Homo-oligomer: A and B are copies of this chain.
């Protein structure tokens, strides 16, 4: 049931040194609780690891200490190339990650070995064995790996995987971390590792559902495919590997989102939460993990964000302002581990205490969000215990639990004042309602009307009355009973 919380994405590792990043991660862990976190740039110059004749972990230790303190573990992605080890000058992103192969594979292997060994020394072998290690990022794209050279990637993978297994055979290594659009890469990669007997413990790929980008300053508009296309992508590796020796390996979707652009305002909307709801609710049918890219807007691939809301990937924008998609995850985190029922507009669960929870979402028009239905009603009958239940409902939609809407109403202040930030935080909280409901024949029956783009959580708990016999509300103001 919990593939959805197995991993989350993040901007480059250096950003993890920052307080706003760590405060956002603390909030995410408190209200959602992911198990692993994956981002680029462990070997980027800003981390200061590869400093011949030294290898130094000043900042890596600060990052990993913070992660563990917050109850989240690294999903290591080895890359990009340190300048002093790079064979070329090509970089990606505003922060200039070098994407060329190492000028010495031996020196690369030593860097990998030193890093993994240091992590084991500091955090213990048992701990590090629980951290998947992925080799590079999207080598199928020429902007992420010089010339998208498959042979060079295979060599890098082989050298890296072998080095890791030399350190400890039970460490988990995998790849190829490809982006959508080059699905055949996985098959080629599989053939390579099978034929050469190269170690592999999991396979990984990414999933996105957006079309071509139309750019405006600091922003992008894109079309979207239907959300089901994400699930198709989640499921592809198992299909591709069926019947091969790699069948049965864990499949990790190490990045997914609607748009792959960190400046597409769709990420900030309630539409986005409703659009992704079935993906997050049911993605576990297709893959062992699928990491939302990314947990917060402290992210600089296109430069420092220029406004509080800027279409970043984050579940949170700066200053811990929650977006609707944050609540989608936070709602799931409050659900039970036992599925009760599911449909294309909801998922119901229960747990060992008899508590019943329902996540429901409105259908969306992925072509034009303005045409999404204004209203959608779900009728549910749920098995519960006791004569009555208490219902707490939490909702976000285009208006409620929606700081982005409030921010637009405020005039889109680029750098909001403290008072405005406080108001936005309040507007970002879900609307709550509550009621006591009767139970008939062991069932509670509900009509759940949903507003446009609403995502809602119903929490239903048995009422155990402790009302004392002398309690009489009619006497509250002294009326004689």
A56 and B221 form a contact (CB under 8 A): no
Would you give the 0/1 interface string for A390-415, flagging 1 where the beta carbon is closer than 8 Å to chain B?
A: 10101000010000011011111111
- Chain B residue contacts of A442, Cβ below 8 A: none
- Chain B residue contacts of A427, Cβ below 8 A: 392, 432, 434
Given A17-B18, A48-B305, A415 and B478 contact (CB-CB distance below 8 Å): no
- A377 to B369, alpha carbons, bound, how many Å? 35
A464 and B411 form a contact (CB under 8 A): yes
Given A57-B415, A467-B412, A368 and B479 contact (CB-CB distance below 8 Å): yes
Any B CB within 8 A of the CB of A20: yes
A219 and B57 form a contact (CB under 8 A): no
Given A217-B468, A390-B409, A411-B466, A56 and B475 contact (CB-CB distance below 8 Å): no
- A142 to B389, alpha carbons, bound, how many Å? 49
Any B CB within 8 A of the CB of A318: yes
Which residues of A (29-51) have their CB < 8 Å from a CB of B?
Answer: 45-48, 51
Any B CB within 8 A of the CB of A174: no
A303 and B18 form a contact (CB under 8 A): no
Which residues of A (280-321) have their CB < 8 Å from a CB of B?
Answer: 303-308, 318-319
- Chain B residue contacts of A122, Cβ below 8 A: 415, 417-418
Given A318-B62, A409-B436, A417 and B121 contact (CB-CB distance below 8 Å): yes
B307 and A58 form a contact (CB under 8 A): yes
A56 and B459 form a contact (CB under 8 A): no
- A195 to B333, alpha carbons, bound, how many Å? 53
Any B CB within 8 A of the CB of A222: yes
Any B CB within 8 A of the CB of A423: yes
Any B CB within 8 A of the CB of A118: yes
A269 and B434 form a contact (CB under 8 A): no
- A368 to B221, alpha carbons, bound, how many Å? 58
Given A48-B306, A432-B426, A413 and B221 contact (CB-CB distance below 8 Å): no
- A435 to B399, alpha carbons, bound, how many Å? 9
Closest to A474 in B: B370
A306 and B56 form a contact (CB under 8 A): yes
Of A435, A464, A467, A478, chain B has the most CB atoms within 10 Å of the CB of: A478
Q: Which of B118, B409, B418, B419 is in CB contact (< 8 Å) with A434?
A: B409
Given contacts A118-B415, A121-B417, A409-B463, 12 further A-B contacts (CB under 8 A): A46-B304, A48-B305, A48-B306, A54-B468, A58-B304, A65-B418, A219-B470, A221-B472, A221-B476, A265-B476, A409-B434, A419-B461
Q: Can you identify 22 A-B contacts, CB atoms within 8 angstroms?
A: A47-B304, A48-B304, A51-B304, A54-B468, A56-B306, A58-B306, A59-B304, A216-B470, A222-B477, A223-B478, A265-B476, A271-B476, A390-B409, A399-B433, A409-B434, A410-B463, A412-B465, A412-B471, A413-B466, A429-B429, A431-B431, A431-B432
Q: List the 3 closest pairs (A to B, CB-CB), nearest first.
A: A48-B304, A223-B478, A57-B415
* Chain A residues with a Cβ under 8 A of chain B: 17-20, 22, 45-48, 51, 53-54, 56-62, 65-66, 118, 121-122, 211, 214, 216-219, 221-224, 265-266, 269, 271, 303-308, 318-319, 355, 366-370, 388, 390, 392, 394, 399, 405-406, 408-415, 417-420, 423, 426-427, 429, 431-436, 459, 461, 463-468, 470-472, 474-479
